[in-house]
Structure 1
């Protein structure tokens, strides 16, 4: 399985940042509310981050030698996929809400209601946390090169658990 490509994370964040900026500008011009997620979405983000970390720590414990029970390879692969999906979803949220935040800050003085600005900032930070969690848990799933086939190997990379 391939590891997360930082370039794709950046491309996703920038593309959705531009899209968020443009959609928010259109919505503002036409009298619609800002297209941001509500503060309650942070609860969902916290659950996703916590669940991903929980599964990642389970794989890391097994990788570091606590092997009383065998690790299901399908569960490890699913943990890796969840970590990667969390990072890419975080890049999407970071970009979208970051673009909206930048457009909302420009309108700070003209708007009496600053809730969309604060919500977009909170979701931007949530996206950053999701990216960090995905990258950390992906690293948890990576086996050291010497554990590849049970013997020493001078391969510079590692495989996934």
Structure 2
């Protein structure tokens, strides 16, 4: 399992935005109002992942990976990596959805009251989804093992 590529996530965002624009174009009249609270749950998950990434990075840097008390088990790091990959993809797809909705709303704001009222909630949801993508990529980065100093000859005796 390799790291999530940013170009793949970008493709997912663009594809989801295109599809969501088409869906909103046809079905907007049946949509419920979009409030500021709509996307804040993703922001909560993003904050939790960023805090967990900071914790994991500190444990890895301090060498506290293993079965000791207060240490992080290697399987917990592997599970964190899987969660980070899944979160990055979910965040990218949701970001694409809200970007498509926003592309629909922005030109219609002056004459469509619902679009004007829902734009703020849509922006908050899109920013929350972007925060989830960034936090997930950060968590992936923090799950990497530090380089072994003996591999480059730094710790080897001559």
In structure 2, the partner of 1:108 is 109
Q: Equivalent residue for 1:157?
A: none
Shift of 1:110: 1.5
Tell me, in whole angstroms, the C-alpha distance in 2 between the residues paired with 1:91 and 1:124.
Answer: 10
Deviation of 1:58 after TM superposition, in Å, equals: 2.1
| Counterpart contact for 2:40–2:124, Cα < 8 Å | no
Higher RCO, 1 vs 2 (CA within 8 Å, ≥6 residues apart): 2
- Give the 3-state SS of the residue equivalent to 2:16 in structure 1: helix
Whichever structure has more helix as a proportion of its residues is: 2
1:13-24 pair list within 5 angstroms = 13-24=13-24
Given the superposition, is the C-alpha separation of residues 75 and 41 from structure 1 closer, same or farther in structure 2, using an over 3 Å criterion? farther
**TM-score w.r.t. length of structure 2:** 0.82
Residue equivalent to 1:140: 142
Structure 2, gaps ≥5 residues long: 153-158
1:80 counterpart SS class: helix
Q: Is the 8 A contact 1:37 1:123 kept in 2?
A: no
Structure 1 gap ranges (5+) = 155-161
Max Rg structure: 2
| CA distances 1:21-58 after superposition (whole Å, capped 9, x unpaired) | 10111124xx3237x86432333113211221232222
* TM-aligned CA deviation for residue 60 of structure 1: 0.6
Aligned to 1:109, what secondary structure does the other structure show?
A: coil
The 3-state SS of whatever aligns with 1:40 is helix
Q: 2 CA distance for matches of 1:128 and 1:54?
A: 16
TM-score (norm 1): 0.81
- Secondary structure (helix, strand or coil) at the match of 1:71 reads coil
For residue 42 of structure 2, the aligned residue among 42, 45, 49 is 45
Structure 2: how far apart are the matches of 1:104 and 1:32? 15
Counterpart for residue 6 of structure 2: 6
Q: Distance in 2 between matches of 1:72 and 1:37?
A: 41
Mapping of 1:55-70 within 5 angstroms? 55-65=52-62, 67=64, 69-70=70-71
Residue 116 (structure 1) shift: 2.0
